[in-house]
Amino acid sequence: MGSRVSVRTSTGPAPAVQIDPVIEISGAVARSFSLELAELATLPRRELTADFHCVAGWSATHLHWEGVAFDKVIRADSRGLSRSDPRP
């Protein structure tokens, strides 16, 4: 029997995307910063295939993820790739 995953979708139109998207990191970090999409593209990528098991009893297997690991994004600020946010 195959796995079944439920996906929630929005009924409204997709949100507009800026021409030059920026990721803003703030909150429980030493200092807030932002990372442009072009800067994100310079960070090392990784691939991961894993199974997801929910405590409610369902599973999704062989899920493939590809992208930049979160720790690399956070460390981009210390590498000087990001723009610091002047807010306190």
What integer is the mean pLDDT of 17-30? 85
> Is the pTM here over 0.85, yes or no?
no
Write the DSSP symbol of residue 27.
S
pLDDT at 1 over 60: no
In this predicted structure, which of 20-34, 47-61, 69-83 has the lowest mean pLDDT?
69-83
Encode pLDDT of 45-69 as tens digits.
999 999 999 999 999 999 999 999 9
